[in-house]
Amino acid sequence: MKPINRRDVGKLIGSAGMASASPLLGTLSAFAQGGAPNVSAGAKPRVVIVGGGAGGGTLAHILKRSSPEIDVTLVERQAQYTTCFLSNLYIGGFRSLQSLTHDYRGLTSIGIRVVHDSAKDVDAKSRELRLESGQKLAYDRLVISPGIDFKFGAIPGYTEAAETVMPHAYRGGAQTKLLMDQLQAMPDGGTVVLAAPDNPYRCPPGPYERACMIAHFIKTRKPKSKLVIFDPKKSISKQKLFMSAFKEQYAGIVDFHLSTDIDSFALKSVDPKSMEIETVSGMRIKAAVANIIPPQRAGQFAHAAGCADGDWCPIVPETFASRKLPNIYVIGDAAIAGDMPKSAFSANSQAKSVSNDIEAALAGKPKYPSRYRNTCWSMLGPANSVKIGASYAPKDGKVSALSTFVSEGDEDAKTREKSYKESIGWYAGIVAEIFNKRVDNI
């Protein structure tokens, strides 16, 4: 793959909307991080990143490309990462799991030290990260992007063991494959139940794109089956677009229950033995396949590190610096990112901003005002995708949406196909940024 030079990195940062004529010369950086770097003369500044997913992988890559003089270490517990993004397309039969699975060779090839271990905790005073193996890593700046963990037990009956029977498929890889295996093994005529979580959670449109892909699978492979959706929310992302897909493309297949003032379709309990699912409003269903997506919180490491306040991690909107600990940033799903949804696009955009902040603090480079972006595409059916997105900036003490867009309900087939192609191109682009890896535009 062609190496990225400094001009390319400028473009990457610009693509996050951060370019500006007047650098802030590190002022925000110093404000957020509480002072000068602790780098001894002649020593390379050390940046340690926990989590080699959408946020952490992007940051490691673009920081090392842009400032090779910074020593970048990425701590990631898995040897391979299977993306959640586009994993619903695997359920629909449009993508292989292998095409969604990536390793870290692209990052090590440019001098990033990748340590496959679990981060355990942090000594923020001595700036030291401790790993499960007992190894300690000293840092000048620590960035954590550990993604999410699940609140097992929040739905009575949905314990950690239940995920092996009623997969959430909200972490890429084995869980996604388990859900697909169960759908394939299901007798025609079986009922699939999909239970969506309450806000906030990873990828707000994710459960409904999942519903479309399961419905497509049913329509083409098990036409006597049904999909019942239970949702604790009163409204959902891209609601009109998903509702019309359920009605027009999947009539007679999808039975969607949003919660209203009268009925709550939050789950009262699940029983992985009998496969029974009961809602607060008293509906009981025996599922052939149960895709239960439980409530979520910041990845466990964020809690162990002391960065969380409740379920998620508060950050300074200008920098994504932790509000709880100095010299630490939190990006991606774990952060409380104001109006930004928890998405790979968001995590990637936040990583670009943090890279700039770290370079200002540790490498004497200019600091640009932070701008962030997100777009989430959802596939409704073959070559038929819709999108929602926004640009964001720090405002009123949080990351606020400046301008938003969403696909129209009456778009023609060409526009929908164009959105689908965009989403595939976006995937190739973000994988290149996270893993320094070229993927086919399929």
Ligand X SMILES: Cc1cc2nc3c(=O)[nH]c(=O)nc-3n(C[C@H](O)[C@H](O)[C@H](O)COP(=O)(O)OP(=O)(O)OC[C@H]3O[C@@H](n4cnc5c(N)ncnc54)[C@H](O)[C@@H]3O)c2cc1C
Which residues would be at the binding site for ligand X (CB under 6 A)?
50-56, 75-78, 81, 84-85, 87-88, 118-119, 145-147, 170, 202-203, 206, 210, 299, 301, 332-334, 342-345, 347, 376-377
Neighbours of 62 (CB within 10 A): 26
Q: Toward ligand X, which CB reaches closer, 84 or 193?
A: 84
CB of 159 to ligand X, least distance (A): 20
CB of 25 to ligand X, least distance (A): 29
Judge whether 202 and 148 are in contact, CB under 8 Å.
yes
Cβ-closest residue to ligand X? 53
Separation CA 319–CA 51 (nearest Å): 18
Q: Toward ligand X, which CB reaches closer, 37 or 49?
A: 49
Tokens of 69: 């003089």
Separation CA 429–CA 98 (nearest Å): 17
Q: Toward ligand X, which CB reaches closer, 122 or 254?
A: 122
Q: Toward ligand X, which CB reaches closer, 364 or 425?
A: 425
The one-letter code for the residue type at 342 is K
Q: Toward ligand X, which CB reaches closer, 17 or 37?
A: 17
Tokens of 8: 């390319």
Q: Toward ligand X, which CB reaches closer, 162 or 365?
A: 162
Q: Please state whether beta strands 328-330 and 267-271 pair in parallel, antiparallel, or not at all (unpaired).
A: unpaired
Cβ burial of 114 (10 Å; 0-12, 13-18, 19+) is buried
CB of 43 to ligand X, least distance (A): 25
SS3 of residue 97 by DSSP: coil
Q: How far is CA 10 from CA 67, 318, 355, in A?
A: 12, 19, 11
CB of 85 to ligand X, least distance (A): 4
The one-letter code for the residue type at 414 is K
CB of 366 to ligand X, least distance (A): 26
Judge whether 114 and 74 are in contact, CB under 8 Å.
yes
SS3 of residue 13 by DSSP: helix
Judge whether 329 and 315 are in contact, CB under 8 Å.
yes
Q: Toward ligand X, which CB reaches closer, 37 or 147?
A: 147
Judge whether 18 and 370 are in contact, CB under 8 Å.
yes
CB of 131 to ligand X, least distance (A): 8
CB of 57 to ligand X, least distance (A): 7
